[in-house]
């Protein structure tokens, strides 16, 4: 899986194949269906299966106040697409110059000249070019004139509605990470850097890694079961996302207790998968009552989550 940041870096190994353009935020099951068709088309034309995506999301450049919080960071997106069988991902820097290209220039410069595409695979709502003026009908006309194949992949449904990044985002914001994961190709994952906290968890006998610098969407406040990934190992994790009202602490924190882990984590990057929401954040009448609940949270987590992979 090749990951490039500039069109100038594209070599022969990523040209002459099938291309899909889009944000692919979250890499959900609908994206996976499209990727399957992309790979099929790439094999048919005898070239690579290539994703052309944007970093950051175009709305973040055009209308920053309206930009949705991302579900995946670029490296994670590349990893997931690579696992689906994509040969290469080109994540170009989104700037005004790129966004001002007309549909005609976008098609000619990127798809024809840079990628020498022989097939295009898109969803029915695909738009391209300045002010999103290009649609699938226009793309079809361009492809026909250029001798390219075009396949339009219908959206994949779930519960009677199409799977989409915005729908997944709504589930996560509501804390329903299980519903989100059913639409994703993987449990929902975030990343952060372990920093020093108040050491409240260690005093209670439940040491936690305090995460900061998360650059993707966080679920609703609550206690969750999940897994934490650090140093090549995977650990069951009880996750606390919110304040500590038992100790009159109002500031929301992201704390992760790696069940069974012993070691030093400060300054380390940590990736956390959210498997299920266990309960709301609430105050307890005593420290002992809180500790009893934490034991129950750990037990519930261990029942749901596979043992650590060392």
CATH code at position 103: 3.40.50.620
Residues 193 and 152 in one domain: no
Q: Domain residues for 293?
A: 187-304
Farthest-apart Cα atoms in the chain, separation: 73
Residues 25 and 139 in one domain: yes
The reply to whether 180 falls in a domain is no
The reply to whether 238 falls in a domain is yes
The reply to whether 166 falls in a domain is no
The reply to whether 91 falls in a domain is yes
The reply to whether 309 falls in a domain is no
Residues 206 and 262 in one domain: yes
Of 139, 159, 179, the residue at which a domain comes to its end is: 159
The reply to whether 237 falls in a domain is yes
Dihedral of alpha carbons 214, 216, 219, 224, sign: negative
Residues 257 and 138 in one domain: no
**What residues have CB less than 8 Å from 111, skipping those under 6 apart?**
19, 117, 120, 148
The reply to whether 197 falls in a domain is yes
Residues 137 and 272 in one domain: no
Residues 61 and 208 in one domain: no
Mean model confidence pLDDT for the chain: 93
Which token pair is 215? Answer: 């650059």
The reply to whether 64 falls in a domain is yes
DSSP letter (8 states) at residue 13 = G
Q: Are the C-beta atoms of residues 193 and 212 closer than 8 Å to each other?
A: yes
Residues 6 and 155 in one domain: yes
Task: Return the pLDDT at 148.
Answer: 97
Residues 134 and 232 in one domain: no
* Residue segments in the chain with a per-residue pLDDT below the cut of 50: 308-310
Residues 108 and 241 in one domain: no
pTM: 0.92
Tally of domains in the chain: 2
Task: Return the pLDDT at 262.
Answer: 86
CATH code at position 200: 2.40.30.30
Task: Return the pLDDT at 308.
Answer: 47
Residues 121 and 255 in one domain: no
Residues 150 and 217 in one domain: no
Give the SS3 label for residue 62. Answer: helix
Residues 200 and 152 in one domain: no
From CA 303, how far away is CA 23, in angstroms rounded?
A: 35
Task: Return the pLDDT at 310.
Answer: 43
């Amino acid at each position: 899986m090749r990951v490039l940041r500039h069109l100038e870096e594209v070599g022969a190994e990523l040209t002459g194949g099938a291309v899909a353009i889009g944000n692919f935020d979250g890499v959900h099951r609908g994206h996976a269906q499209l990727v399957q068709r992309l790979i099929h088309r790439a094999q048919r034309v005898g070239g690579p299966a290539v994703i052309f995506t944007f970093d950051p999301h175009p709305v973040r450049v055009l209308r920053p106040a309206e930009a949705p919080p991302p579900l995946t960071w670029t490296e994670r997106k590349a990893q997931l697409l690579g696992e689906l069988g994509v040969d290469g991902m080109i994540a170009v820097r989104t700037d005004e110059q790129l966004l001002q290209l007309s549909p005609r220039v976008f098609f000619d410069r990127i798809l024809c000249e840079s990628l020498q595409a022989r097939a295009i695979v898109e969803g029915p709502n695909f738009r391209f070019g300045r002010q999103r003026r290009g649609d699938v009908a226009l793309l079809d006309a361009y492809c026909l004139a250029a001798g390219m194949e075009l396949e339009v992949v219908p959206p994949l449904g779930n519960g009677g509605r199409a799977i989409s990044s915005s729908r997944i985002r709504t589930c996560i914001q509501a804390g329903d990470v299980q519903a989100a994961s059913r639409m994703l190709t993987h449990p929902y994952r975030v990343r952060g850097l372990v920093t020093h906290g108040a050491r409240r968890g260690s005093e209670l006998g439940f040491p936690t890694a305090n995460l900061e610098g998360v650059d993707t969407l966080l679920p609703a406040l609550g206690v969750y079961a999940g897994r934490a990934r650090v140093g090549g190992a995977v650990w069951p994790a009880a996750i606390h996302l919110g304040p500590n009202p038992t100790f009159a602490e109002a500031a929301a924190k992201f704390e992760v207790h790696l069940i069974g882990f012993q070691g030093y984590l400060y300054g380390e990057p940590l990736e956390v998968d959210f498997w299920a929401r266990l309960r709301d954040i609430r105050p307890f009448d005593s420290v002992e009552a809180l500790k009893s609940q934490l034991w129950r949270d750990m037990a519930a987590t261990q029942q749901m989550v596979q043992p650590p992979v060392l």
